[in-house]
Amino acid sequence: MRIEGVDALALLGLNDANLQIVEKRFDSTVIVRGDAITLRGDPGEVDQLERVFKELMFLLARNGSLTANDVDTVIDLVTANGEPALPRGIASSLSTDELDALILFTRNQMIRAKTPGGRAYVREVRKNDIVFAIGPAGTGKTYMAVALAVAALKNNEITKIVLTRPAVEAGESLGFLPGDLKEKVDPFLRPLYDALDDMVPAEKLRGYIEKRIIEIAPLAYMRGRTLNNAYVILDEAQNASTMQMKMFLTRLGPNSRAIVTGDVTQIDLPKKTSSGLVQVQEVLRGVAGISFVYFDRNDVVRHRLVKDIIDAYERHANGKAREGEEL
């Protein structure tokens, strides 16, 4: 479609502010080249986007300017009169508990908490500014955290997502990995990219990363920053030292929230280094606005064998412990 009868800069906003509002509210990709707007995505959503831009051009031609509130209002009116947020029939088929467990609806799937522990996790995240999710692999701690952050971004609750992990070796040395620093740390951050790939269309995700709306970085890069209006996720937190944990938690600025995920049975730190995730459970217990959620084997949502593998390792560890006591 073409930008007709109005100034493109006024339509898109200073530094593309109006365009960014539109992009956050839709999964489709919006590409602007000169006076041409290209829309790529689900046909139904593309149709809504066309109507949004036409309404905005009409408003701009009539009033001479556009505000962020104008953009939000037009989007609300178009989407309210178009397709519902959930596909027809889905909302009516879900119970109240199932709707509460719903985190994010994408073009390809409905992301929701599937276990009692997962549903408790979602409830605590919605009530508290900082939530610690602690439990074994395969329980969806990281995946749900990313989904909650993406949902908050789409709902304009925040303006930025920051995903971070400690770059701690688990049997391999960073120094021997090929490439520059970014190439060395990217393998540590790959699970976060994988989660985002499931939730945000590829072109849109690239745009978010280029504009730094979504940042993915090693934990060490957080030092000295203040994160305002952001959703901040610290993954694999059992590998953060006590000082790193304190540093991370004190990065939060106004209107920011944090989720910290980890498994205290998988600490890869050197033996003389204490895990910040272990210590923080004692330090912050009972602080208002901070919640701890614990997962167990019954919350595993990966392959059915993952639960059996966790059980087998626990039995092995318990057997070793008993042997040590007997000796």
Of the given ranges (205-209, 224-228, 316-320), which has the lowest mean pLDDT?
Answer: 316-320
Q: Which residue has the tokens 């109507």?
A: 51
CA angle (64, 12, 42) in 5-degree steps: 125
Helix/strand/coil for 238:
helix
Sorted by sequence, the CB contacts under 8 Å of residue 152 that are 6+ apart come out as: 158, 231, 257
For residue 127, the model assigns a pLDDT of 93
Q: Which residues of 36-47 are buried (b: 16+ CB within 10 A; e: fewer)?
A: ebebebbeebbe
> Can you tell me the distance from the alpha carbon of 188 to that of 169, in angstroms, rounded to the nearest whole number?
9
* Dihedral sign from CA coordinates of 173, 175, 178, 180: positive
Which amino acid, one-letter code, is at 302?
R
pLDDT tens, 279-301?
999 999 999 999 999 998 888 87
- Cα–Cα nearest to 274, from 248, 247, 250, 238: 238
> Can you tell me the distance from the alpha carbon of 241 to that of 245, in angstroms, rounded to the nearest whole number?
6
Torsion (CA) 322, 325, 326, 327 in degrees, nearest 10: 120
> Can you tell me the distance from the alpha carbon of 154 to that of 24, in angstroms, rounded to the nearest whole number?
5
Of the given ranges (45-59, 140-154, 156-170, 289-303), which has the lowest mean pLDDT?
Answer: 156-170
> Pairing mode, if any, of strands 257-262 and 110-112?
unpaired
CATH of domain 8-81: 3.30.1370
Of the given ranges (166-180, 193-207, 255-269), which has the lowest mean pLDDT?
Answer: 166-180
Sorted by sequence, the CB contacts under 8 Å of residue 141 that are 6+ apart come out as: 121, 133, 135, 261, 262, 295
Domain limits, the chain: 8-81, 109-301
Q: How confident is the model at residue 5 (pLDDT cuts 50, 70, 90)?
A: confident
Extract the tokens encoding 45: 């959503």
Helix/strand/coil for 7:
coil
For residue 181, the model assigns a pLDDT of 53
For residue 129, which phi and psi values (nearest 5 degrees)?
-80, -25
For residue 227, which phi and psi values (nearest 5 degrees)?
-105, 110
pLDDT tens, 97-125?
666 677 887 666 778 888 889 999 999 99
**Residue 208 CA: distances (Å) to CA of 48, 62, 81, 257, 299:** 21, 32, 28, 19, 32
For residue 76, which phi and psi values (nearest 5 degrees)?
-60, -45
Quick check: 243 pLDDT over 90? yes
Architecture category of domain 109-301 in CATH: 3-Layer(aba) Sandwich (3.40)
Radius of gyration of the chain (CA): 23
> Pairing mode, if any, of strands 130-134 and 257-262?
parallel
Arithmetic mean of pLDDT over the chain: 83
DSSP string, 252-280: B-TT-EEEEEE-TT---S-TTSPBHHHHH
- What does DSSP assign to residue 175? G
Of the given ranges (17-21, 85-89, 200-204, 227-231), which has the lowest mean pLDDT?
Answer: 85-89
pLDDT tens, 81-90?
544 344 444 4
